[in-house]
Amino acid sequence: MKNHTRFTAATLLLASMLATALASCGDTAKTPAETQAKDNTPANTAAVTEAVTEPVDLAVANVPADLNYGGFKFSFIISGNIENNRQKNDFYSEGENGEALNDAIFPRNLLIDDRLTITIDTSQEYDTSNT
């Protein structure tokens, strides 16, 4: 009797899951143009307009155009452990060398140096002990 109850409960659970899955595979949502084409009542005849926005240059962000630090030197002390024989430094790059992270850091620093008239300086102090 106990196995029969478990079987019935499992069957009902499976049936409800299948019904939910089948119901979710119904008709796809209509685009505003399709809805407007089918429903041409006076209330829905307004023209659909798209907002036109200026492209955003993510490399410049929200920095005022006249911001100028006059060659100020920003210094960062980079410290920490060396992991997997690699020093982690997100601020310094000698130049592009084919490594993805390094090749992103170098042009970013050049852009910031030119845009804000600053100099980025890093001092690296890594712990090489294996503690």
CB 58 within 8 A of CB 71: no
- The model's confidence at residue 70, banded by pLDDT at 50, 70 and 90, is very high
| pLDDT at residue 87, as a whole number | 67
| 83 dihedral zone (left: phi>0; alpha: psi -120 to 50; beta) | beta
- For residue 73, give every residue at least 6 positions away whose Cβ sits within 8 Å of its Cβ, in sequence order, or none: 118, 119, 121
Q: How far apart are CA 92 and CA 120, in angstroms?
A: 8
Question: Higher model confidence: residue 43 or residue 90?
Answer: 90
Q: Answer for the pair 80, 126: CB distance below 8 angstroms, yes or no.
A: yes
Strands (E) across 21-117 are located at 72-81
Give the CA distances from residue 64 to residues 9, 69, 127, in Å, rounded to whole numbers and listed in that order. Answer: 66, 12, 39
Q: What is the pTM of this model?
A: 0.46
Predicted pLDDT of residue 63:
78
Using CA atoms, how far apart are residues 92 and 65, in angstroms rounded to an integer? 25
